[in-house]
A = this chain, B = another copy of it.
Amino acid sequence: MENNDNVIYIGDKPFMNYVTAVVMQFTSKNAEELLVRARGKYISRAVDIVEVATKRFLDGKVKPVDIRIDSEEFENKEGKRVRVSTMEIVLRKAE
């Protein structure tokens, strides 16, 4: 399921763009599973998007089946090591 079609990265595009993208994967594209990924401050947003998409639009027929958190470290422009949290939510069609 790690092909790009089945991964949605949450950033600062309009909220409903992401909700629509999630919903479409399970409706018109008939996906069984989808991975929603976010980093840093976008993690809260990813949870909002998943909640609205699955409960309001997909009517509980799609559920988060696995939620993982982790950290990435990298060097910023000033050469300082920076840590950022990451989250992955696996969404799957309910049986």
Tell me which residues across on chain B come within 8 A of A42, comparing CB atoms: 44
A43 an interface residue at 8 Å Cβ cutoff? yes
Tell me which residues across on chain B come within 8 A of A64, comparing CB atoms: 69
A sample of 9 cross-chain residue pairs with beta-carbon separation below 8 angstroms, ordered by A number, consists of A40-B44, A44-B85, A47-B85, A47-B87, A48-B85, A51-B69, A51-B70, A52-B83, A67-B69
- Nearest Cβ on chain B to A46's Cβ, whole angstroms: 9
Q: Flag if B70 contacts A67 (CB, 8 Å).
A: no
Q: Flag if B67 contacts A47 (CB, 8 Å).
A: no
Kindly report which residue of chain B lies nearest to residue A49, judged by CB atoms. Answer: B85
Tell me which residues across on chain B come within 8 A of A44, comparing CB atoms: 40-44, 85
